[in-house]
Amino acid sequence: DAMLAKFARPGMCNPADTDSPWTAQDATDDARLQAAAARDTRTPAQRNHDALLGFLRPELGGPAKRGSHRGVPVAAIMTMSIADVERAAGVATLATGGTVPISEALELAQQSKRFLMVFDHAGMPLHVGRESRTATKAQRLALIATERGCTRPNCSAPASRAQVHHLTEWSKGGKTDIENLTLACDSCHAQVHDGPGGWKTVKLGPDTAFPGRTAWIAPPHIDPTGTPQVNHRHHPGELMALTLSRIQDRNRQARERHKRWLATHRATPATP
């Protein structure tokens, strides 16, 4: 999955395009990759097929020359909590959108490089700042660990397909600090602008249900109320809590209807 996130991007490893980048070194030329992506008409399945063929050819790079993807090494990135590790239960989340049982994640982690990150009580990373526009590797890893994917509501794009987005744009004085950064896939990132139909992104305050999380505000023609919304797609625990809440609410309404039915029928005398 990590390899395909890089080599199956639009424009990469296209056998029908003589100027398509094939190696990790070629992919560092952003102008060349963007031009190749604009000419790419393949489906995702076709791109995966071509990327796998290219990855298996030694002269085109191979496993030892995978380079980086969106600022971090092309490798499996897993995030797990200390609580799950201590009780040896639960799952570790992957930057590519999947999950791995804790038992398997710990086995894989024995031969891997580990990064320790400290988060606050709301699960948000502590301050990581920078004076330049581009996010650091540590900042991206922190966002992968906390947000796990694109933060636009209902978007299922994993972190491996997302770029770092400034909530307050760099051109408007926004800093490259972790508090001002979030993850957004290419498609959703293009929808954030000040023009008609543009979305807005904000950080939720401490008095909200999800403090520190990134919320998106839809344009008026989608949501006239302008209510900030968070994305629960990459947080299984939140999805479970929402599902249980709906079930409990549905059961409560069913009990109320049943009580009213019983009250009505008990009050009505039987017809001889």
- Which residues does 239 contact at the CB level (< 8 Å), separation at least 6? 232, 233
Q: Supply the pLDDT for residue 17.
A: 85
Q: How far apart are the first and last CA of the chain?
A: 73
Q: Supply the pLDDT for residue 124.
A: 56
CA distances from 250 to 223, 239, 246, 255 (A): 25, 16, 6, 9
Q: Supply the pLDDT for residue 57.
A: 67
Q: Supply the pLDDT for residue 74.
A: 60
- Where exactly are the structural domains of the chain? 2-69, 78-217
Are 7 and 63 in contact by the 8 Å Cβ rule? The answer is: no
Q: Supply the pLDDT for residue 215.
A: 92
Q: Supply the pLDDT for residue 64.
A: 46
Q: Supply the pLDDT for residue 223.
A: 92
Mean pLDDT by 10 residues, the chain (272 residues): 78 85 69 85 89 71 54 68 77 79 80 60 53 72 85 89 85 80 89 89 87 90 92 82 83 88 70 55
Are 192 and 198 in contact by the 8 Å Cβ rule? The answer is: yes
- Backbone phi, psi, residue 257, to 5°: -65, -40
123: left (phi over 0), alpha (psi -120 to 50) or beta: left
